Amino acid sequence: MSEIEQFRSRARKWLAEAGIPGVPLDLEERFAVLRDWQRTLFDAGWMGLSWPCEAGGQGLSPRHQFVFAEELARAHAPAPIGLIGLDVVGPSINAFGTPEQRARFLPPLLSGEEIWCQGFSEPGSGSDLASLRTRAVRDGEDYVVDGQKVWTSWGAYADWCALLCRTDPAAAPKHAGISYLLVDMTSPGITVRPIVQMTGDPEFCEVFFDGVRVPAANLLGEENGGWRIALDTLSRERGNYTMRRRVEIEWMLADAVAQLRAIPESRRADPRVAEEIGKADLALRVLEAQTRRTLDRLTADTGADPLDSIDKLVLNDTEQAVCAAIAELLGPFRVAPGTSPLGLDAGRWVHDHYYSRAASIYGGTAQIQRNIVAERLLGLPRG
C-alpha cells in the first residue's frame, strides 16, 4: 500500500469513529457546530495538512489535503468553518508574513479559535479591485483606516479581516498604492451590517471603517506592496477552493442519487430523473478532467497562475449545473417545504440551488476570469 493510500486508510478510520456532527440550516447554529468541528479536526491533527510544520501544519503535500477532503465528503462530514482563513488568507500570511506574524496568527486560524474574513470588494470596486478607495494613513505606530467594504463573507462572525486599502493615493498605476493589513474586527470604529441573501442567510456583510487604528506591525508585506499579495490570495482561493468544492459537489450529487434510489422504482422511472442526473454527472466529469493538473500546480506552489481562472470558470458552470438539475427534479417543491415525490429534501436542495447562483460572482466574477484568460493565456489586447 502506498503512503498516500495508508494516509487515506487512516483518515477513513478516524472519521468512522469521530462522531460526525449534523449541520443545521440555521446560520448561527451552523456556525457554532462547524467551529466546534474545526477544533475537533485540529486537536486530532487533521488541520493544515499541507502547511509547513513551522507554520503549525503537518508538513504534508496538497495531495494529502485533497485526499482528506475526499474522505470528509465520503463520510458526509462537513468542511470546517474557517475556510477563508485556511484556504485563502492563511497561506498568504505564511508566504509573506514576518516570523512574529506567522506565530501570532496561524495557530488560532488553524484551530478555529479565530475566524477570518476578506475585506477586498467595495461598492464600485468589486470586479475592478484595483480601484478600491478605502484609505489607510500612517500615524505614528498605527495606520488609520476609513472606508467601506461589501460582500464580506462571515463578516459578522469574523475575528480578523484581511484588508486591502490605499496607502498611496497618488500612485500610478493605481494598484501600486495598495497595502494589505491584518485588522482586528473588534477595533473601535468598525461597524458590520449583515446582508440577507436569497438563501435566507445573512452570510454577506457590509463593513464600515471609521477612523480605525491598526498597528503598523499588522502590515503584511511592504507598504504599497499589497497588490502582489492580493493576487496570491485570490489565486489560492481559486485553486484550493476548486479542488475542495469539486469533491463536495461529487458527494452532493451522490446524496441526491441515494435519495432517489430510496423511493419505489416506479416513481424514479420518470424520464426526467435520468436526464437531469445525466446532465449533472456530465458537468462533473468535465470539471474532473479540467482539474487533473491542478494538484500538480498546487504541489509545485508556483503562485498566481491564470490557469486558476479556467478552473474557477468550469467550477462555476458545474456547481450551477448540478444544483439546477436537482432543483428541476423538485418540480413545484422548489417553492414548497417538505419532501418531493422523488424523495428529495426540498429545503436542503433549494438552499443549495440558491447558493450556487453566487458561484459565478464570488472569488472574482466569471467576466473577470474570462478577461484574465484572454489577456494572460491567449495574449489578446485589453478591451
Report how far residue 264's alpha carbon sits from residue 176's, in angstroms, rounded to the nearest whole number. 63
Strand partners, 225: none
Report how far residue 122's alpha carbon sits from residue 158's, in angstroms, rounded to the nearest whole number. 18
> In the structure grid, which three cell numbers stand for residue 120, read together?
477586498
Residue 237 annotated as catalytic: yes
The DSSP element (H or E) to which 35 belongs, if any, is helix 27-43
261 exposed, middle or buried (CB, 10 Å; 0-12, 13-18, 19+)?
exposed
Q: How many Cα neighbours within 13 Å face the side chain of 17?
A: 6
Taking a C-beta distance cutoff of 8 angstroms, is the pair 303, 229 a contact? no
| C-alpha to C-alpha distances, 277 to 271, 281, 367, nearest whole angstrom | 10, 6, 28
Q: Which residue type occupies 84? A: I
The DSSP element (H or E) to which 162 belongs, if any, is strand 160-166
Strand partners, 104: none
Report how far residue 334's alpha carbon sits from residue 212's, in angstroms, rounded to the nearest whole number. 44
Residue whose C-alpha cell is 485570490: 234
- Annotated catalytic residue within 122, 237, 250, 319: 237
Report how far residue 189's alpha carbon sits from residue 213's, in angstroms, rounded to the nearest whole number. 8
Active site positions, annotated = 237
